[in-house]
Structure 1
Amino acid sequence: MLDFPVVDKEIAGIAPDFRAISILVDANGTKKGRVDPNILLSACDYVCSGGPEWRDAHLASWGDVYSRFGAKPNRTPCSAQALKRRVEKDGCIPSINPVVDLYNAVSLRFAVPVGGENFDAYVGSPRLTVADGTEPFDTFANGDAIVESPSKGEVIWRDDVGATCRRWNWRQGTRTRLETVGGRMWFILESLATMPEEALEEAGKMLVSGLIELAPGCEVYKQKISQWT
C-alpha cells in the first residue's frame, strides 16, 4: 500500500462520497514505448457521440462540490468538464505529448478528472486539503511565469512546498507538471458517487494499460482511496 496521497478530514464535509484511484509508476530504466496514436481522437469521438451515459450526472455532481467550497463551476470547471467543453466546441483537443494525451483520453472516455504529475518534483506527499490562502502556486499568466496563491477555503492539492493544483483539479501547477515519460509519475483519478464504481476501476485499468505500453517494464503501484485520514 502507498502511504500517499493524504486526504484531510475537512474534505469529507465538502464531498462525502469522494473516492479516487492513485497510481504511482516508476519508469526509471525502462524502454521507450508507444501508445495507440488514435487514443485521444477516439475518446473525443466518444464524447461527441454522447458517452458515457453517467457523464452529465457526474460532471453536475462535481459542479455541486465546487460550489460548496466557493468556486464557480461555470467559470472554473473541474478538469473533466473543461475537456468536454473543448471537445464539444472544436470536435477534438490538440495532442500535447503521449502521456498527457493518454490521461486526457481516459478522462474524456470516463468523464472523470485525471491528473498526471512528475512525482520526482514533489517535496513530501501529495495532500488534498483546504487552503489557508498562503500556499505558493507556480503558474503562467500572459506567457510569463508567476507565483500566485489560492483563495482561503479553496480545495487544493499540495505538497510540503505549496499548492500543486488549484480548485481541486481545475488548474495544474507548473512545478510538478508531467511533460515526459520517465522517472516516477503519479496519477490520480477522482470520482463521486454518480460515477459507477466499476467504471472508475475500468478507467484505472485503461490508464495502467496505456502506461505499460508507454514505458515497457515499468513498475506500477495502484491504490483505491476511499477513507479519510
Structure 2
Amino acid sequence: MIIDNEFWELFPDATIYSLVAKRLNNNDEDTAFYEQLLSAAEKEAQQYIQTEPFRENPVVAQWREAFTKFKTKKGARSSIEALLKRVSQGKELGTINPLVDIYNSMSLKHGVPCGGEDLNAMDGELHLGVAKGGEQFLPLGAEEDAPALTGEVIYYDQTGAICRCFNWREAQRTMLTENTTNAVLIIESINAEQSKRAKEAIEELQQLINDRFGVETTSSTFKK
C-alpha cells in the first residue's frame, strides 16, 4: 500500500495499519463461531458509547471532526460510528463472511475503523490519498456509478476508487466475498490514543486470522 503525501498533509498524526493474508479459504460455514465473536465485540463496544448524546462520545466526535477536513458526501460518517450506532440502538450485527465478521468484531472491540479488500480484484497498487475528482466508483449494493468528489479522502487503484471517505463506503469491485483468497485488511487511526487501540486491534486481528485460517500474514505500519 502507498499513502500519498496529500493524505499526510491532512492527517499528520495518523497511523494506518495493514495486514495482508494470502491463500485463504473464506468460506467457513461455522457461523456460530462468528456470531459469538460479534456478540462479544458488541458487549466490548459499550465502553465507547457511555455519553449522551451519541455524537459526543470521543470515538464518534473525533471522527466527525476528521471528516470536516476534506470533501465528503452529505451524511458520510466513519465506519466505526456506523457500527457503534447499531450497537447503541440494540441492533445485532449479522454475519456476512468470515473476514468481514472478524474485522467488524475487531473494529467494535477496539473502537477503530476497519476494512478489507480483495487483492485479486485490484488493478495495481492500493493507494490512500485525496481524490482528484471523478474517480470511478460503484458502491456496494448500487447499480449506478458514484464517482469520488474532488478533495475526498479515498482508497484507490489504477481503475478508480475502492473506498470513499476513508472506508465509509465500499466498492463492489474489490469487496471481500466467500471466494476471496488474498486480502488486505486495514485499520485506521488519526491520533496517538487511537493509534494505541489500532495497534492492539491489528495484532489481535493477525493472531485470529493466523489461527482461524492457518495462513501466514504480513503486517505493515504507515506513519508520516
When normalised by structure 2's length, the TM-score is 0.87
**For residue 80 of structure 1, what is the aligned residue in structure 2?**
80
Report the Cα distance in structure 2 between the residues aligned to 1:52 and 1:122, rounded to whole angstroms.
Answer: 39
CA distance in 2, matches of 1:94, 1:31: 16
Contact 1:118–1:184, Cα closer than 8 Å, also in 2 = yes
Kept in 2, the 8 Å contact 1:133–1:153? The answer is: yes
Correspondence for 2:11 among 15, 20, 33: 15
Identify the match of residue 221 of structure 2 among 215, 224, 228: 224
Q: Does 1:62 align with 2:60?
A: no
Equivalent of 1:42 in 40, 43, 48: 40
Residue 76 of structure 1, CA deviation: 1.2
- Contact in 1 for aligned 2:49/2:84 (Cα 8 Å): no
1:160 is aligned to 2:161: no
Distance 2:50 2:16 in 1: 18
Residues 16-56 of structure 1, C-alpha deviations (whole Å, 9 max, x = no match): 11101111001258996965541100111122354799x93
1:197 Cα deviation (Å)?
3.7
Q: Is the 8 A contact 2:26 2:179 kept in 1?
A: no
Q: Is the 8 A contact 1:48 1:91 kept in 2?
A: no
Say which SS state the counterpart of residue 139 (structure 1) adopts.
coil
What SS does the aligned partner of 1:147 have? coil
- After superposition, the Cα gap between the structure-2 partners of 1:179 and 1:70, relative to the gap in structure 1 and judged at 3 Å, is same
Q: Deviations over 1:72-117 (max 9, x none)?
A: 78x2111111110011113422221221111000001111110111
The answer (yes or no) to whether the contact 1:21–1:223 under 8 Å persists in 2 is yes
**Native 8 Å contact 2:15 2:190 kept in 1:** yes
Q: Where in structure 2 are there 5+ consecutive unaligned residues?
A: none
Query: 2: CA distance between counterparts of 1:147 and 1:31?
Result: 29
Rounded Cα–Cα distance in structure 2 between residues aligned with 1:88 and 1:30: 29
How many residues are aligned here? 218
Cα 1:181–1:208 change in 2 (3 A) is: farther
Alignment partners' CA distance in 2, 1:145 and 1:92 = 27
Code of the aligned partner of 2:84: K
Change over 3 Å in CA distance of 1:155–1:210 after alignment to 2: same
- The answer as to 2:148 corresponding to 1:150 is yes
Q: Relative to structure 2, which stretch is displaced further, 34-43 or 97-106?
A: 34-43
User: In structure 2, what is the equivalent of residue 176 of structure 1?
Assistant: 174
- Kindly report the root-mean-square deviation, in angstroms, between the aligned alpha carbons of the 2 structures: 2.6
Q: How does 1:65-144 map to 2 (within 5 A)?
A: 65-71=66-72, 75-140=75-140, 144=142
Q: Distance in 1 between matches of 2:105 and 2:168?
A: 17
Contact 2:24 2:213 in 1 (8 A): no
- Give the strand-richer structure, 1 or 2: 1
Answer 1 or 2: which has greater helix percent: 2
Identity among equivalent pairs (%): 28
Q: Distance in 1 between matches of 2:78 and 2:27?
A: 34
Q: Per the alignment, in what secondary structure is the counterpart of residue 209 of structure 2?
A: helix
Structure 1: state its 5+ residue gaps.
Answer: none
